[in-house]
Amino acid sequence: MAKLNWDVDGTRKFHAGVSHGVVYPKADGEGYDNGAAWNGLTGVTESPSGAEPTDLWADNMKYARLISGEDYGFTIESYMYPPEFEPCDGLGSPVKGVRIGQQKRKAFGFTWQTKVGTDQDPDAGYIIHVVWNATAKPAEKSHETMNNSPDAETFSWECDTVPVNIADLKAAAVAEFDSTELTAKQMKAVEDLLYGTDSEEAKLPTPDELLAAVKAAVKAAV
């Protein structure tokens, strides 16, 4: 048995930054429309909730504990958003250049990256975060006069999700793909699907399809 050690060189990890945002509006039928790059992304805040314990008492003792279901929400912050996100924000466009609010909000998928660094390498890797079946809530938009210290307007959307089925696991709405643990071929398989290639459009597969691509990349490398 190896003795535990703390703060070994190269093992002190941290996460930082946000980039490579992509939105995938829900298709009218099944699945999602092609992905659209999200420029101006400044932050994504994940806000899981639930999983609250409820103690059961019997025979003058704590008899058991029940755990409530877990929900997943997140908040997107940005300087701007792609036009493809407008139906997800309740905007309809009957004529190009005209946007009508208070329309039906389309569900969407969303992906983004965060950096993984260590004490020896601040660019050791990255994590691709994938969210399915999200819905954006109506958000406040503030417009202010310009002064001697002008600043760009920012947008923020609180979003909630509905879990999707995953084989052999509980239904979930979020997954992560970590380049510091997966191989380069496995990450490429994921990125080719999510971000597209020279010949294929960016798309949002199901969790099972992404897992199958990761496993297939392992077999191809053998």
The residue ranges of every structural domain in the chain are 17-50+71-221
What are the pLDDT digits (tens) for 12-45?
A: 899 999 999 999 999 988 899 999 999 999 999 9
| CA separation for the pair 208, 212 (Å, rounded) | 6
| Nearest by Cα to 110 from 141, 140, 84 | 84
Taking the whole predicted model, whether its pTM rises above 0.85 is answered as yes
> Could you tell me which residues come within 8 angstroms of residue 157 by beta carbon, excluding any fewer than 6 positions away?
75, 76, 89, 136, 137, 139
| Nearest by Cα to 24 from 137, 112, 110, 130 | 110
What are the pLDDT digits (tens) for 125-159?
A: 999 999 999 999 988 888 888 888 888 889 999 99
| CA separation for the pair 95, 114 (Å, rounded) | 37
Give me the count of residues in the chain. 222
